[in-house]
Structure 1
């Protein structure tokens, strides 16, 4: 929800930002500052005066005065800003049977959504009779338009400094271990201030494509990934949340957190409600910690409410920009208006409410949002908007959840540790975001994650070190671990051990899946309530592994050599060699005798009656007592 360019009376530029006579982008062009301007009641991205000119009727999702356009199918349907074609709707159900029936009735299915206890939803294109029939079913909760939403329009940026996030970084807390989803226009996949922190990406609308399926020129960025940013807005938000601390560019609020691009908005800054809901569902199912939504609408939609409730029920901290419709009262946008979501208003560098910021009783917290310098594809730029305030809060949320907080606990810490700057509750909620007060950190309490040991096919030993108790009497230490890419469904914790002095600790894991990558971190909570986490490391339980070694050739004969590196969890492995004359495998292939090994180690076998000067190929091979097979690489030799 950011303004791409200064607007009169919108507190758009801070003292050190560019003026109209200067690009003010440090590598971004003036054009890059102009893209991404959003309009209408759902288009939360403009300063006050520009928004007033562009705003259309309230209540339609994103009303404005822009021309209608043909939809992606190229037929006679017209797409009004704020909603898709008339037959493009979302059917919310209470039963799987109703969802299945909806999918059967659809001309085209865009998304099948599962919001857990909230119910199901099917987004697609439905004939009018099908819409009416579904609406009349008792197990259908709603049939609503698939509306369009829009983006709410290494120095330390003033916002990061103002909320004292840099003090938290100095104390050793950077958000390492937290996962923050930027649900927006994408993230620049090769920006030097972001690339080291990038995790997974998901595109519900591919880079270079507008929300209606038409192509668009975007912002001139090179698209290496489908989720690359073609608008600038998402990359700017990402830099504020978790720009890398690399001695250049900008540093984010949580510079050690992992950023995930969930691209639901197109190059125009517009996206369908169903894509946004699917992005929230995807974020939740990935087990990520924070969902950052710098987008919105003036209208309430059950699908979006379901998605946000589902995320919060699963432990996600959901944070959204309040909107840029100010000056106004009781004008907070959705999803920020939901009580499940942390609603963020914007302040300027003088600690005043930004003139463009939406306000209302739903505001939970205020954060810097005027003239924020952050990353854009190709460089850096100053943007203003509640979109810029939102990722400040998302980053601090990441700092908290990296320290072991649940989503509910993190929200309480954010709202209960603010700074009073004199704003009313409807303007600033509980007060100005204060990272130093919200995040418990100690320069002394310190835990390190060490490399795993004793790795086998289904087991491993996790290791860590309590380096300092930070003045506490004791620290409860343990490990958190999960399968890479499946955190939400596989995350687990080891048992807790209480230490009263610095030292090493470890715990054994069993029943692991051979060949699967696991991620783990040593963690601890002191008796004084401080949390600390070591870095994330990964390991792979060993599969059956055999290595072919070089032969030993002499005038007296040839010896083939191999190594059994791992039994892969088996009790024993039968090892041998397979060999043949190069170019004549079918007629010359042969095998050595079998040797049974019960532990890793070297093995060999001697060959005789080989043809001098002939090239042979061989490989060490083995079969475990559990039925697994493995072969080393093929090597060549020639007897003298």
Structure 2
């Protein structure tokens, strides 16, 4: 491929793109071709201003930009694969929302709150062994409320992929709720998350309505990998397979990143959403306060672990609190427990997934000779992590 000619054509195509333009991915067939084109792109940007609108995605050797649906680049001889970007949404809360101005005690003593889900998985029982110290969790979501009193000491550097000149402020609430379940540090008042000494890196890929493009998700995964985070929480999903997303997940997995994703809230019995469906991901279903599989939760053999997801109490925008239901909430509990495990011993993504599956508490009381996903338990998970540590 003639790289210079291709980039000139790309510059012209972006210039012709008007209101009808849609985001596209330009995927190169080899790393060599991608990096050669990326190098030339940097050199030509000063002369061809439209090329500044091109985003590079190293993790899948691709460009992202807005093009016309009938772009002539697709007829370019020897050009990379050009495909329209796909939309993805956060796994929205099931049921109504009730904004709560301040936390009230649900469990424990004093004026702080241990939400029921954190208590049910047994996190407080293991805080004398692990608090998730210095484990870095990337939350690819709607951002975070930087001013929430329970999150201030848990937040580290993040990124706003929708507007890189701005901090990843949350304008939806979903990301703040997820972050609170993982790592809230309310002491005298407020709530305490599963791993209160873990560190949240907010990656804003979703807009105020909870919608994102796959390219934004991939850029978020790329950022998490480049910043050497330990866990990537992905409380969102899509119904259809996407090769570019799978490639990003695979590359992050092979770089040692533990990816945790929600199964979806459609109540399906035999299928779950992507990216949770990818075998390299820890896939999470939701349970009720009674420890049963939530009616809204997708379920089946593709689930690795179930965790609390019904009316989960956590942080919200403007320093408030909220109860939300969904597999998104369950996923945050699992990410928190993984942080507790990693603080004891560095483990590979496969070791984490295997340990969680092996140490889960059974949900179905009927006898079964086949393995079935069970309920998350922090004490068992830490014991499994220590066993792996001691055997190495």
| TM > 0.5 fold call | yes
- 1:407 offset after TM fit, Å? 3.2
Give the structure-1-normalised TM-score: 0.50
Give the Cα–Cα distance (whole angstroms) in 2 for the partners of residues 355 and 325 of structure 1: 9
Q: 1:74 to 1:254 in 2, by over 3 A?
A: same
1:146 equivalent in structure 2? 85
With a CA cutoff of 8 Å and minimum separation of 6, indicate the structure with the bigger relative contact order: 2
**1:284: Cα distance to partner?**
1.0
For residues 259 and 150 of structure 1, the distance between their equivalents in structure 2, rounded to whole angstroms, comes to: 21
- Quote the residue 2:6 is aligned against: none
Rate the CA distance shift 1:421–1:257 in 2: closer, same or farther, 3 A. Answer: same
Aligned mate of 2:135, from 157, 160, 178: 178
Give the Cα separation in 1 of the matches to 2:119 and 2:64.
43
Shift of 1:410: 2.2
Equivalent runs, 1:68-83 vs 2, <5 Å: 75-77=18-20
Report the equivalent of 2:117.
Answer: 159
Q: Distance in 2 between matches of 1:191 and 1:344?
A: 27
Unaligned runs of 5+ in 1: 1-72, 78-84, 210-224, 443-524, 532-640
**Contact 2:121–2:376 (8 Å) recurs in 1:** yes
Q: Specify the alignment match of 1:372 in structure 2.
A: 312
Structure 1 or 2: more strand by fraction: 1
1:436 corresponds to which of 370, 379, 383:
379
For residues 288 and 399 of structure 1, what CA distance do their matches in structure 2 show?
15
Q: Retained in 2: the 8 A contact 1:109–1:122?
A: no
278, 293, 299: which one aligns with 1:353: 293
Match of 1:324 among 265, 270, 295: 265
CA contact (8 A) 1:345 1:389 kept: yes
Aligned length: 342
Q: Please tell me the root mean square deviation across aligned C-alpha atoms, in Å.
A: 3.0
Q: How far apart are residue 332 of structure 1 and its match?
A: 0.9
Look up the match of 1:129.
Answer: 72
Tell me the secondary structure at the aligned position of residue 259 of structure 1. Answer: strand
Name 2:182's counterpart in structure 1: 241
Deviations 1:182-202 (A, max 9, x none): 110001111111101111111
Q: What TM-score results when the alignment is normalised by the length of structure 2?
A: 0.80
> Are the counterparts in 1 of residues 56 and 62 from structure 2 also a CA contact under 8 Å?
yes
Q: Separation in 1 of the partners of 2:122 and 2:89?
A: 30
- The aligned counterpart of 2:331 is 390
Residue by residue, what CA displacement relative to the aligned partner does 1:94-129 show, whole Å, maximum 9, x if unpaired?
Answer: 3245435596898664421122xxx51111134522
Larger Rg: 1
User: In 2 relative to 1, CA 360–441 (structure 1 residues): closer, same or farther, beyond 3 Å?
Assistant: closer
Q: Provide structure 2 residue ranges, at least 5 long, that are not aligned to the other structure.
A: 1-15, 93-111
Partner of residue 56, structure 2: 112
SS at match of 2:138: strand
C-alpha distance in structure 2 between counterparts of 1:131 and 1:275, whole Å: 22
Q: Quick one: structure 1 residues 314 and 244, their matched pair in 2 at CA, closer, same or farther if it must change by over 3 Å?
A: same
1:440 alignment partner, SS class: helix
Instruction: Give runs of aligned pairs for residues 398-547 of structure 1, distance below 5 A.
Output: 398-408=339-349, 409-422=351-364, 430-440=373-383, 529=390
Offset at residue 230 of structure 1 (A) = 0.7
